[in-house]
Structure formats: structure tokens, C-alpha cells
Amino acid sequence: MTRDKTTTSGVKIPVVVNRKSDERGYSKESCQPGEYPFTRGVYRDMYRGRLWTMRQYAGFATVEETNRRYKYLFEQGNTGFSVAFHLPTQEGYDSDHPLSEGEVGRCGVAVDSLEDMEKLWDGIPLSRVSTSMTINATAPIVLAM
């Protein structure tokens, strides 16, 4: 099935093209966009039916201050947040570790525990926003929180 849309110039373009293989002969999955196993995207019409998510990259000082900032941004219409962690969190150190001295809350938010993560997102309707956490080395630990 091919559904067409028309551009503002009157040109018809297919929304979904179904074919057994692409121009190089590679086989395609038979699923549709938005259907398991999601090889053609997680949304039925991907970004044709909704805007791209715009995330504010923010995080500073304490989780309480960052939470206040996120709430303010949400009230202004923000639909996504990308957490900026401070260097000790990114490196896997607690804020009270000797190697964290001079870096705590300096550039990004300090997250040392599950309690910190809960405070960071307190009162934020997570079902209505998307989140992203810019972190590498300690990603599994932070994700578990």
C-alpha cells in the first residue's frame, strides 16, 4: 500500500513505500512504520505527523535548582530535557570524593544517588516530556537510577 501526500507545490509524494527490496537489492522487513520490530521507525508517520523534539540542555549546582529550571522550562512549553551532569558524576565519583573537590556543581548538576535523581525529576510530568542524559562512562549506573 502506498499512501500519497501532496506538497504545497502540488507534487505527490509517497508517505510509505512498500517494496520487497531497495535499489541495491537488500531485502526489506515486511512491517510498517510504528509496528514491531520497528525496523522502519517507532512512529507510524515518524516526524511527518509531529514536530522534532527540542531538548533544553541544562543542569547546574544542585538537583533542586536544576529541577526548578526544568519546571520553568516546561511551563514555557519545553517538551524535552537533556541533563547536563557535572564532571564528578560523569567520571563516577560522588560529590564528597577527594577527586571531586573544585568540580562539584561547577558545570552541570551533581547526581550522586537515587534520591538525587528523584529530586531532579520531582513534579516533572515524565509522561509528557522526553529526556536525554548526556553521559558516557557511568551511563549504566545513572540509567539504573
Q: In angstroms, rounded to a whole number, what is the distance separating the alpha carbons of residues 92 and 144?
A: 14
Q: What is the pLDDT of residue 19?
A: 61
Q: What is the pLDDT of residue 30?
A: 62
pLDDT tens string, the chain, 145 residues long: the values are 456 778 889 888 877 766 665 555 555 556 777 888 777 777 777 766 767 777 888 888 889 999 999 999 999 988 889 999 988 888 888 889 999 888 887 788 999 999 999 999 999 999 999 888 878 888 888 888 7
Q: What is the pLDDT of residue 34?
A: 81
Q: What is the pLDDT of residue 39?
A: 75
**Collapsed DSSP state (helix, strand, coil) of residue 15:** strand
Among all chains, which residue has been given the C-alpha cell 520553568?
72
Q: What φ, ψ does residue 85 adopt, rounded to 5°?
A: -90, 150
Q: What is the pLDDT of residue 1?
A: 46
Q: pTM, whole model, 2 decimals?
A: 0.66
Q: In angstroms, rounded to a whole number, what is the distance separating the alpha carbons of residues 56 and 132?
A: 10
Q: What is the pLDDT of residue 42?
A: 79
Q: In angstroms, rounded to a whole number, what is the distance separating the alpha carbons of residues 54 and 47?
A: 13
User: Cβ-count burial of 104 within 10 angstroms (0-12 exposed, 13-18 middle, 19+ buried)?
Assistant: buried
Q: What φ, ψ does residue 4 adopt, rounded to 5°?
A: -115, 150
Residue 7: all three cell numbers together:
506538497
